[in-house]
Structure formats: structure tokens, C-alpha cells
A and B are shown apart, each in its own frame.
Chain A
């Protein structure tokens, strides 16, 4: 019998000199540290790319005021796209998953922790090289072929590093679960990580393969069809656009379901349907693997029945099923909120993240309706930003929720809640105006969909001119980026203060239901003193009859 006191010893596992401490972090195989390394680096890069987003937004307010060099716009837009997708969104989500999934499944360690740690350092190396390449006139739109090559190589390293960590996390879910924890008893967040992880295992290598082709095309100037800067957007663009990026934000749905169950102290049901809903969002991976846009052709309504059918079936599979799944998962989780939840910051972050993701999934479906004529406009960019910010909100919520398990201290709910509102408002302001401007045909930045890239076009940022109320939407979007940046800055500052000097957390500060709350705060190196037997999907709730809704 394991007995867990709410105020059990929570001293750090190791202490030593500064150099020794740094060495410990550099060589760590503790999944909580690896996850926090991803989170820290991702947060820093979020601040940097957020600042670039603000600059680009200001530039776009009026095309007449060209205060950024015109020749660097394509590079800056591609830096924003590459940075926010693979240096911010995915690392933040992978970091949270790495740090918490073994605790949630009752494991003492991550499977292949050296592989996960190696993945982080490979990702960091790739990120550094990628930024170095773009600064030196490389990357999409870059004028220095050697640094264009370096950028492609660094992008492949970034993906390989993330893939290594994802393989480690997925294997952990499949093999290190506590006794009695079958797949139907997985915590919702872990399930969502498994769905996203399996999708990434299939999607990322396809992108790496394309990057290998692109690298050789630049290195040997041999593939005329793949040559030119536009080819990066054309052949690797699917990895930076929807529906591929939807995979990265799936854990938002798992966090919502877990935090709703915790806040309402009830068993969130029907479990199988919520699992299915989250799983359906993962169907988006088919579009990635097949590199198939699944678009409803212009004039779809008046097309012949056979043509309609040949468009509609793939459209429904690639865009309809994820929308249905996302809606089901959000609706069933939100239904649980009817049971008078104890509102806390993680719940609010998760709710906002899931609603943002739901909006992005719906917008992605609209973007693939040919009659809407949204190709090449800012609509796609707005959708992508919504996905990115859904992931950022998820990471912020996860840090507020599971921070006590990593640092042993808790964040003040009163101080964190306004930041959730600020970040959500910023995310909506940044993305929604671009969706509206897309309907007014405002041209988008780089990484449009493959079918919209015109042969011979090397500068992917054509112009921002269009006939709509340009300044209004671009000012709003820029303000949104600034708000998100402000919210993230404040959140990072608050988190650092709280986790360094804040109030010590109990072992179960949120009255949780899943196994991570059954160990001390912070969790020790090997997570659990003893291996627990799980007899339901909510093992801790079984032991809290006073808190059960049906008690």
C-alpha cells in the first residue's frame, strides 16, 4: 500500500555547484527536465518570433510605408512560419508531452530517454543553424545558395530531433503504463498525445524526405522542377500549412478533457466517444501523407454527380472528420462544465485553446471550398495562426496545471487568469482579422498551398494590396500579435517568479484524478516510490468519495 501525504518531501533530487548543475541539465535523461528544456527554448523562440510577427504586421498595415527591406520580406515571412511552427508550436507541445506523459501513465521513466534528450539537442542545433542561415540571407527567398542549403539541412535536423522525441513519447505510452492501465483507462491528455504522436511519426518523415530532395536540388542544382526558392513552399509547404499543423495542436483537446474532469470532480463521459473525437482529428494526417489538398472544386454545386462525389468524399475524410471529431471532443468536455466546476487557470487556458483549435479546424475546411476562392489569401495565414496560438495556449495551461509536478511550487490563480484572457484575446485578434481580410482577397505571405504557387515566381511575397479596408484588419491583427507577445512575456515572468519563489504546492493541488497527482511535488527522478495498480480511468477519484459527484 502506497501512502502519499499532501506535504511529502519536495526537495530537489540533486543539488550542487553551478557547473555541476549545468552539466546535469546538459546530460539529463530525466523526462521532466527534457520536457522543460523544450518548454524553455520554445518560450524564448516564441518571444523572438512574436516580435517578428509584430514587425511584419506593422509592415503590412500600409504597403506604401516600406520600412522593412522589400527583398527580405519573403525571408522574414518564412522565418515567422518556420519559427512559429517548428521552433515554437511543436516543441512546446512535445515538451509538455515529454514532461508529463510518463507521470500520467504511472511510469518511472520515459522509454529511450537518451533518444528523447538527443532529439532535443538535435532540434536545438537545427534551430540554431536555421536561424543562422536566414540571418545570412538563406532560407526561402534567400540570395545566398550556400545558406539556402544550410536552411534546408537545418529544417531536416529540426524535424529529425522532434521525431526522435516523439518516438520516445509514443513508445512510453504504449509500453510503460502502470499495471491495470489499459488503453481505455489512459488519461485524456495522454490519449491526445498518442494520437498526435502517431500522426507525427507518419507525417514528419514524409517532410524530411521532401527536404532531402530539395537539399540535393540546391546542392547540385540538378532538379529543375524543384529548383528555385519557390520550391521550398511548393514541396515542403504542406508541413507548414493545414491540415498538417492541426496534428500539432491535438493535445489541446486532451488538456481540456482532463482539466474539466478535475475542475468538476466528476468522471467525464462518454469516454469512448471523447477518445473517438480526439482520434478523428488525427485523420488529418492522411492529407499530409497523401499530399492531397482534397478541395471542393469551384462550381461544385453545378458539377456532375460523379465529380461532386470524387471531390466530396476526400474532402469529408480529410477536413470533415477532423471537424466533427474536434466538435465532439469540445462539446462533450464543455458539457461536463454544467456540473459547477471550480474554475482555475489551467481550465480556462484549455477551454480557450480548444475553442481556438475548433475555429481553426472549421476555417481549414472553409479554406478548401473552391467557391470561397480563398487560395493565396491571408485566410490560410489566419487559420495557421489560430492553430499556433491554440498550441501556445495549451502549453501555458499545461505549465499552470502541471508546473507543481515539475517545480514543486504553484502559480497564483488570480495572477494567471487575466493572462489567459489576454492571450486568448490576442490570439483571436491576430487571426480573425486575417480570415476576414482573406474574404476581401488580401494576398497572403509565403507558404501558400501547393496548387497556388505559380511557376517562375521566386518572390513569394507579391504585395499586400487589395481593395478591402486594409489598414483596419492589419492593425487589428498586429495588435493581436502584440497582445499575445505581452501575455507570453507576463506569463513567463510570472512562472519564473512563482516556480522559483512562489508558494509550495501540495502533492495534489487541483484535486486531480490521474496518476501524476499521486506522487510528490516536485516528482522525484524516478517519479513514483512504488508502482501503482490502476483499477479505473480515474484512480485517484476512486479514493476520494467525498469529492465524487455521485457520492
Chain B
């Protein structure tokens, strides 16, 4: 016979937050690897005397910078949702989550606007394919973020208001996206 002391079920150890952090680490590796390869090909093209961005293609910096600026309120609103939830302020929590999702959708709209404005064919050389791949991958991560915001809102406003961990995890994910877009903006839109 083997006897072990038993205990009440342990308190949650922020499983969702840790899982989101691990997922963010994976996302960082994905975008970091893609940006590194982008820079490698850019350097090789410039060293060979060729132009990296195809002639006649203008990368619109204004909407890209607006997108960058949009991530500041995203972080503020995501943290506002956490703050409001701690105070059991459901209306403001819902409002904050809604604003985060709205800005996320606005980001996707702005990205589509950039694609339309550039009129860059996907088969127009190395830059174009890498541009679409990396901005497309990031846009997919933003779509995941919008879905995350919606799920968080439904879960929290649907009655599970004691479950505040998901709000912290949601905020962490959007912080990750904000940091990742800073790097993407600098490398792809500014440095080109």
C-alpha cells in the first residue's frame, strides 16, 4: 500500500497567461526569423548593386505609421480592460475590449489599403514576395488577436467575470503584437 498526503486542488497558476506567453515566444521566433531572412536578402541585393524595392514602387509610410501609432491606444485599452475588470466594472471592460478589437480591424483595413495603394504584383521579384509574406503573416496574427478579443469579451461579459486571467493574457498578446509591429515597421516600412 502506498499512501501520499493529499491536498485541496491547487489554486490556478495562471495557465492561460503562461500559455499565451509561450505562444508569444513562438510568434516572436516566427516574425524574428522572417525579418532576419528579409534583411539577409535585402543586404545581398544591395551588395550586388541591384535595387531592393522594384523601380516605381512606393511604400506608403503614412498609413504604416498610423498603424504603428494605433498600437499605442491598443495597449492602453487592453490594460484598461484589465484595470476595469479588477474593479468589477463590466461596462468599461466591455468598452475597452471592443475598442481593442475595433482598432485591430482598422489595422487589417489599413494593411489592405497599403496593398491596394502599392499595386505591387506578388510575382515582381524577391521584395514583393517577402513583403507580402511578412506583412501577411503579421496580419494573420492580428486577426488571431481580434478573435482573442471577441472570445475574451464573450467570456467575460457572458458571466465569467471572476475569470480575470484571460484579460491579462489578452493584454499580453496585444503587447506582443505592438512590439512585433515596431520591428516590422522599422525594417519593412522605414528601412525598406
Q: Residues on A close to B: CB < 8 A?
A: 1-6, 108, 111-112, 163, 167-168, 170-171, 174-179, 201-210, 212-213, 216-217, 219-226, 235, 289, 291, 507-508, 517-518, 530-533, 535, 539-540, 543-544
Contacts and interface: CB of A to CB of B under 8 A. Distances in A.
Contacts of B110: none
Contact of B126 (A2, A170, A179, A224): A224
B16 to A, nearest CB: 9
Given A112-B19, A205-B33, A222-B123, A4 B3 contact: yes
16 contacts: A3-B1, A4-B1, A174-B22, A175-B19, A201-B26, A202-B26, A204-B29, A206-B29, A212-B137, A216-B129, A221-B123, A225-B41, A289-B29, A532-B7, A533-B7, A543-B4
Contact of B129 (A6, A179, A220, A535): A220
Given A176-B13, A533-B4, A543-B2, A201 B22 contact: yes
A209 B4 CA distance: 47
A221 B124 CA distance: 9
Contacts of B129: 213, 216-217, 220, 222-223
Given A2-B4, A170-B22, A210 B126 contact: no
Contacts of A540: 2, 4
B15 interface: yes
A532 B6 CA distance: 4
B140 to A, nearest CB: 10
Interface in B8-33: 8-10, 12-15, 18-19, 22-23, 25-27, 29-33
Interface of B: 1-10, 12-15, 18-19, 22-23, 25-27, 29-34, 36-37, 41, 44, 122-126, 128-130, 132-133, 137
Contacts of A170: 22
A347 B3 CA distance: 26
A540 B1 CA distance: 11
B108 to A, nearest CB: 18
Given A220-B123, A223-B129, 9 more contacts: A1-B6, A171-B19, A174-B18, A175-B18, A209-B137, A216-B122, A216-B129, A222-B122, A540-B4
Lowest 4 A-B CB distances belong to which pairs? A206-B33, A205-B30, A530-B6, A220-B123
A112 B22 CA distance: 12
Contact of A208 (B30, B122, B124): B30
Contacts of B12: 175
Given A167-B22, A223-B126, A533-B6, A210 B37 contact: yes
B17 to A, nearest CB: 9
B7 to A, nearest CB: 5
Given A4-B3, A223-B130, A167 B23 contact: yes
Contact of B4 (A210, A212, A518): A518
B72 to A, nearest CB: 26
A240 to B, nearest CB: 16
Contact of B3 (A2, A163, A204): A2
A204 B25 CA distance: 11
Nearest to A3: B3
A175 B15 contact: yes
A201 B33 contact: no
